[in-house]
Amino acid sequence: MNSQLSAAITLLPLLLLLLPNFHTALADPLAEFCNKDNAKLNPGSSSRLAKLLSQLVAKAPADGYYATSSGRGRNKVHGLAQCRGDAAAKDCSTCIADAADQIARRCPGLPDGRIWYDNCFLRYSKANFVGKNVTDPETFNAKLAGLEDVVRSQAVKPGSKGIGKGETKLLPPSAETIYAVVQCTRDLAAADCGRCLAAAAAGYFADYCDNKKGCRALLDGCYARYELYPF
């Protein structure tokens, strides 16, 4: 038998063994958050969550975004799925399907779950988080401003590669944490980087993100983002 053909036949079973693991590797998320602080979902909510996830998988890819709820009263569950704006429809669909499958596996029975991939983000919660502003804007904005100062000072330090990141906890009764990341293009001098990030915070955040629970600012020389979840 031809030696090349023999080698190919020998390798074929090995390749077939590896193929099932390929999708599993694709399904590994960038990050996940499962809220274990509260009581687990009751059986009624668990069945509603399964329906909610199937709705997100079916409907989010059409527009790259879908938010909905499932159930009533104490069994109600809220959810949101969104794909990256430049993701192809097929990639969006695959990503949301993976996200729904993995969040159910990784956050079994938990009341709040979030999962991140390169191409999409999915979240569900017993609490209605969709489209909500902060409930105490004065405290929130003061905490956010302090965090922005910290991450901006990191970004302008020598050797920082123009990046700064941090987090700060909100005051009780809120148990939430604000997470922030900023970065400048590395051609900018420290002073210019600082000015760009200050413009992002004082201008863009103030004008377009006022009292929102998360926001991003994309300027020519810098990027700034904050959220109430790690990213």
82-91 pLDDT tens trace: 888 888 999 9
Instruction: Copy the structure tokens of residue 131.
Output: 């489209």
The total number of structural domains in the chain stands at 2
Q: Is the pLDDT of residue 9 over 60?
A: no
Banded pLDDT at 60 (limits 50, 70, 90)? very high
Residue 28 in domain: yes
Same domain, 30 and 114: yes
pLDDT score, position 104: 92
Residue 130 in domain: no
φ, ψ dihedrals at 221, nearest 5°: -110, 0
Same domain, 109 and 32: yes
Lowest mean pLDDT among 14-18, 49-53, 86-90, 177-181: 14-18
Which is nearest to 228 in space by CA: 153, 173, 175, 183? 175
**Which one of 69, 103, 125 terminates a domain?**
125
Q: Is the pLDDT of residue 175 over 50?
A: yes
Half-sphere exposure of 222 (CA within 13 A, CB side): 29
Domain that holds residue 177: 137-227
Same domain, 110 and 163: no
Q: Is the pLDDT of residue 151 over 60?
A: yes
Same domain, 14 and 110: yes
Instruction: Copy the structure tokens of residue 36.
Output: 């274990």
Residue 21 in domain: yes
pLDDT in tens, 103-145: 999 998 888 888 888 889 898 988 777 765 566 778 888 888 8
Instruction: Using the structure block, give the residue that is written with the tokens 């704006």.
Output: 85
Residue 132 in domain: no
